[in-house]
A and B are shown apart, each in its own frame.
Chain A
Amino acid sequence: MPSSAKGGKAKKAAAALLKASSVSVGYGSTMASAVCPPISVTMSAGQGLAVVGANGTGKSTFLRAAAGLLEVLGGSIDVLGVPVDERSRRFRAEVAVVLDEDSYLPALTVREHLLLTARGHGMKEVSALVTEQVEAFGLTERQNALPTALSSGQRRRLLLAAAFVRPRTLLVLDEPEQRLDSGMRDRLAARLAAERDAGGGVIMATHDPVLVREVATKALLLGEDSVRVVSPDEGAEAIEAL
């Protein structure tokens, strides 16, 4: 469930959770290295934004920029009403990010990773919450295993569980469906939809049309020559047509 315990839900609801204005993204240092045309999009609390497009069109790159992990080549991104700056402790407290990263503290178990995350966000009495998320992500049998002993799908579940075990206002997910079985994908879609309905924001890059239809309230369709904001159905159809 999204949390606004760190202050001002009404204030936040008024401001856009994410506002990208003519943002150019890429991995070089000049505009020539932009991977797609400039992006302009806004999303508010209680909305889901699906970022869709073919491989290499800049979905993950845009998400990294929105998460403050990549410098934009041009334009600006505001998150929670202020320019994105992941150095801000409030930003880190309110924006939960799950990218395509697969790193773990080598000696810590699945459960310990989640306990650490919850406590790292200032939560007290976290044991029951962790147990709940461990069950929700089907990791109960493996909660005392080291991440190196997990399958790649189970490690993905652990990363997703870490996003749900902490307070958050905005969820940023890069292809959350990756390496998940179909049952887990369905449950994840339901959870993300619940997150959105509870007033949280979800922005996700995805290749899964079901996820787009169930979670997104709009889709950002990225292409080499154009960027468009379309309806979830159009976004899902674009994925199916790829």
Chain B
Amino acid sequence: MTSTDIDESWPSGRQLRTLTRAATEAHTGGHMGELVSEVYSVLFSGTIAVVMVLGAVQGLNASIHPGPEQATVDPSWLALVVALVVAGAVLGVAGRLGPVGMGGAHALWWLTTPADRRTLLRPRLVLLPVLGALAGLVGGLLVGFLAFGSLGPDLLWLTVDFVVAGAAMILAVAAGQVRAGAGSTKGMRPAVLVGDLLTAAGPVAAVALVLIRPEPVDVDWAHLGPVVAGVVAVLLLGALWWLDHSLELISGRELRARGSVASYASGAVTSMDTRELGRALNVNTTRDSRRRSAAMRGARGPVTAILVGDATVLARTPRHLIQIAVGFCVALLGVAAGWSVVMNVILLLAGGILTAMATGEGARRAEMAPVLDRHFPIAGADVRRARVLLPLLVMVPWTVLVLGLWGWAHQALLGYVLLGLVTGPVFAAGVLRAAYRKPPDWSKPLVPGPFGPMAPGVIAAFARGPDIVVLCAVPMIVGVVALGVSPILLAVQLGTSLIALAVATRAPKGGGKGWMQRMSEQAEAQREEMQRQRGGRR
């Protein structure tokens, strides 16, 4: 590219973004009330769950009991485990998503114009360090509390270090994209490889620490922290300046390959759709071909064919296998650190949802391409039931193991093992419900939001899946935080687990259709209705 490559008559990337935004805003007209009602419904579900737990505890005249008083492993070492996982997750996700990328629609309608890429991509460049800093903030606080136990200069400086390091890591990955220029976009990228290795090292280190139980480590972070922060901040600013002046060098191939894969990543960000995000995280690291194809001998009918297909997808997605291991560690982190039982329950739910999401890839793919579900000669509801089998096969042993270890820590092994057995299906139901949730409806008037107009249903779509987990796991939560495990509690949990499964596997009328097809049919019906009305007036 040379200086002769610039023509003043072409609009800048900024102008192109402004044009698009203006056109989008022309379609607003939805009421803020819709957004408020969505936030309200999500908060309402969470509040209901908390009230139910507290009500049950009070009604049964029980009290919340403390967690195991003794930490299994010194928290300062657990901090190292969490730091590894956080750094790995930030690098891995950034590497997979670009981090500079452009989704399918933007790639098709923006990247094909002569608008300059520097100003076109600048909002993304500004967003990157902010996202990295946010991830660093959360990770830094978690690691800091584990390492130091209370607020103070140590924790403050460790958090600051994580914030600047999170931002710097993301920018470093972006710099790699620019340096690649018009080169190959194929193959595993260093950031993804390093990220996955760090993430996988976390659980491995955790197991090793539990076995070795080393002495606590003592680092004076109040003095070391400012030095680290200063050095990283200088690197961060330098990377930001260099990137801003080099964005023109990123190839469209790179932007499309990393950012889009048909709008997965940007769609996930703009609509807060974790399902799309999961798809995006897989695409860039999926191999184009395999040395040989599996015989699929386990498939002996439609149901086993679906199960074998889903299991094969899971086994061939290393990220999901790592996710299961990380989810397991998250669920046990509180117990190992000797944290309060309420914190343990929160981590159990978070770890369970994280693990369950890894098992739902088959269902998510089928929702995207309904032909996968229509492929077999069984009813739609039966297909849904078949799709829950793999999540069940993973999540039931997972909850048995996690709650079994909890029970071992609480000296109530058998009861907790049984509780795990009946709680597992709730997580499986959650992932299935999330996979088949309705996407936001972009044809309705858009609702003004803090980051621009949003489609109605965005927040509801985000919460669908985890909501059923939180609500239907209430008996387990009550048992863990207050009552202990009893036959009645097990029966109630079994009941709510079955309800969760029934809700999640229910195939709605017109089910099996993808969102594109459903919207086309709705539009067709509206058109016919308008034509009928016009005919009636004549």
Chain A residues with CB below 8 A from B108, complex form: 101, 103-104
A92 to B5, CA, bound (A): 11
User: For residues 219 through 242 of chain A, which have their beta carbon under 8 Å from a beta carbon of chain B?
Assistant: none
- Quick one: which of A28, A69, A107, A149 contacts B253, CB cutoff 8 A? A69
Q: Is the CB of A88 within 8 A of B23?
A: no
Q: Is the CB of A149 within 8 A of B252?
A: no
A107 to B109, CA, bound (A): 13
Q: Is the CB of A71 within 8 A of B253?
A: yes
Q: Counting CB contacts under 8 A, is B184 at the interface?
A: yes
User: For residues 95 through 111 of chain B, which have their beta carbon under 8 Å from a beta carbon of chain A?
Assistant: 103-111
Q: Counting CB contacts under 8 A, is A54 at the interface?
A: no
Q: Counting CB contacts under 8 A, is B218 at the interface?
A: no
Q: How many residues of B contact A (CB 8 A)?
A: 58
Q: Counting CB contacts under 8 A, is A68 at the interface?
A: yes
Nearest CB on A from B113, distance (A): 4
Q: Counting CB contacts under 8 A, is B1 at the interface?
A: yes
Cβ-closest chain B residue relative to A7 = B7
Q: Is the CB of A105 within 8 A of B24?
A: yes
Q: Is the CB of A107 within 8 A of B114?
A: no
Q: Is the CB of B7 within 8 A of A122?
A: yes
Assuming the A-B contacts A89-B7, A113-B109, are A70 and B19 also in contact, with contact meaning beta carbons closer than 8 angstroms in the complex?
no
Of B33-41, B199-207, B488-496, B515-523, the segment with at least 4 beta carbons within 8 Å of chain A is B515-523
Interface string of A201-222 (1 = CB under 8 A from B): 0000000000000000000000
Interface string of B436-477 (1 = CB under 8 A from A): 000000110010000001010000000000000000000000
A199 to B443, CA, bound (A): 41
Q: Counting CB contacts under 8 A, is A151 at the interface?
A: yes
Q: Counting CB contacts under 8 A, is B345 at the interface?
A: no
Assuming the A-B contacts A120-B115, A121-B113, A122-B7, are A87 and B182 also in contact, with contact meaning beta carbons closer than 8 angstroms in the complex?
yes
Q: Is the CB of B20 within 8 A of A69?
A: no
Nearest CB on A from B334, distance (A): 41
- Quick one: which of A103, A112, A151 contacts B105, CB cutoff 8 A? A103
Q: Is the CB of B7 within 8 A of A93?
A: yes
User: For residues 89 through 139 of chain A, which have their beta carbon under 8 Å from a beta carbon of chain B?
Assistant: 89-90, 92-93, 96-97, 101, 103-108, 112-113, 115-117, 119-122
Chain B residues with CB below 8 A from A113, complex form: 109
Q: Counting CB contacts under 8 A, is B251 at the interface?
A: yes
Q: Is the CB of B113 within 8 A of A68?
A: no
Chain B residues with CB below 8 A from A69, complex form: 252-253, 256
User: For residues 140 through 154 of chain A, which have their beta carbon under 8 Å from a beta carbon of chain B?
Assistant: 145-146, 148-151
Q: Is the CB of B442 within 8 A of A148?
A: yes
Q: Is the CB of B252 within 8 A of A86?
A: yes
Nearest CB on A from B174, distance (A): 16
Nearest CB on A from B491, distance (A): 47
Chain B residues with CB below 8 A from A149, complex form: 443, 519-520, 522-524
Chain B residues with CB below 8 A from A29, complex form: 184, 186-187
A71 to B187, CA, bound (A): 13
Q: Counting CB contacts under 8 A, is A78 at the interface?
A: no
A96 to B113, CA, bound (A): 9
Of B8-16, B59-67, B500-508, the segment with at least 4 beta carbons within 8 Å of chain A is B8-16
User: For residues 390 through 422 of chain B, which have their beta carbon under 8 Å from a beta carbon of chain A?
Assistant: none
Cβ-closest chain B residue relative to A146 = B443
Q: Is the CB of B109 within 8 A of A89?
A: no
Q: Counting CB contacts under 8 A, is B263 at the interface?
A: yes
A108 to B443, CA, bound (A): 10
Q: Is the CB of A116 within 8 A of B523?
A: no
- Quick one: which of B5, B107, B186, B442 contacts A90, CB cutoff 8 A? B5
A116 to B111, CA, bound (A): 12
Q: Is the CB of B10 within 8 A of A89?
A: yes
Cβ-closest chain A residue relative to B526 = A149
Q: Is the CB of B248 within 8 A of A120?
A: no
Nearest CB on B from A153, distance (A): 12
- Quick one: which of B27, B104, B114 contacts A89, CB cutoff 8 A? B114
Q: Is the CB of A105 within 8 A of B106?
A: yes
Nearest CB on B from A139, distance (A): 14
Nearest CB on A from B162, distance (A): 35
Nearest CB on A from B355, distance (A): 31
Q: Is the CB of B10 within 8 A of A122?
A: yes
Cβ-closest chain B residue relative to A166 = B113
Chain B residues with CB below 8 A from A197, complex form: none
Assuming the A-B contacts A86-B251, A103-B104, A116-B109, are A146 and B182 also in contact, with contact meaning beta carbons closer than 8 angstroms in the complex?
no
Q: Is the CB of B114 within 8 A of A121?
A: yes
Best-buried of B6, B9, B117, B288 by chain A (most CB within 10 Å): B9
A29 to B260, CA, bound (A): 21
Assuming the A-B contacts A87-B1, A149-B519, are A92 and B112 also in contact, with contact meaning beta carbons closer than 8 angstroms in the complex?
yes
Chain A residues with CB below 8 A from B27, complex form: 107
Chain A residues with CB below 8 A from B182, complex form: 71, 85, 87
Q: Counting CB contacts under 8 A, is A9 at the interface?
A: no
Chain B residues with CB below 8 A from A71, complex form: 182-186, 253
Interface string of B506-538 (1 = CB under 8 A from A): 000000000010011011100000000000000
A89 to B103, CA, bound (A): 20
Interface string of B273-293 (1 = CB under 8 A from A): 000000000000000100000
A70 to B105, CA, bound (A): 19
Cβ-closest chain A residue relative to B186 = A29
A145 to B519, CA, bound (A): 12
Q: Is the CB of B11 within 8 A of A122?
A: yes
Q: Is the CB of A117 within 8 A of B113?
A: yes
Q: Counting CB contacts under 8 A, is B361 at the interface?
A: no
A146 to B526, CA, bound (A): 13
Chain B residues with CB below 8 A from A115, complex form: 23
Chain B residues with CB below 8 A from A92, complex form: 111-114
Q: Is the CB of B443 within 8 A of A117?
A: no
Q: Is the CB of B114 within 8 A of A90?
A: yes
Cβ-closest chain B residue relative to A28 = B288
Cβ-closest chain A residue relative to B181 = A87
Cβ-closest chain A residue relative to B104 = A103
Q: Is the CB of A101 within 8 A of B24?
A: no
Nearest CB on A from B289, distance (A): 8
Chain A residues with CB below 8 A from B263, complex form: 103
Q: Could you write out 18 A-B pairs with CB less than 8 Å apart?
A: A68-B253, A87-B249, A87-B250, A89-B7, A90-B5, A92-B112, A105-B106, A105-B109, A107-B27, A113-B109, A115-B23, A120-B19, A120-B110, A121-B113, A122-B11, A146-B442, A148-B443, A149-B524
Q: Which 10 A-B pairs have the closest CB atoms?
A: A149-B523, A103-B104, A120-B113, A93-B114, A106-B442, A89-B114, A103-B105, A122-B9, A122-B10, A148-B519
Interface on B for A, CB 8 Å cutoff? 1, 4-7, 9-11, 16, 19-20, 23-24, 26-27, 103-117, 182-187, 248-253, 256, 260, 262-263, 288, 442-443, 446, 453, 455, 516, 519-520, 522-524
Given contacts A6-B9, A89-B10, A101-B108, 20 further A-B contacts (CB under 8 A): A71-B182, A71-B185, A88-B1, A88-B5, A89-B115, A101-B104, A103-B108, A104-B105, A106-B105, A107-B24, A108-B24, A116-B109, A119-B19, A120-B11, A120-B19, A120-B114, A148-B442, A148-B443, A148-B519, A149-B520
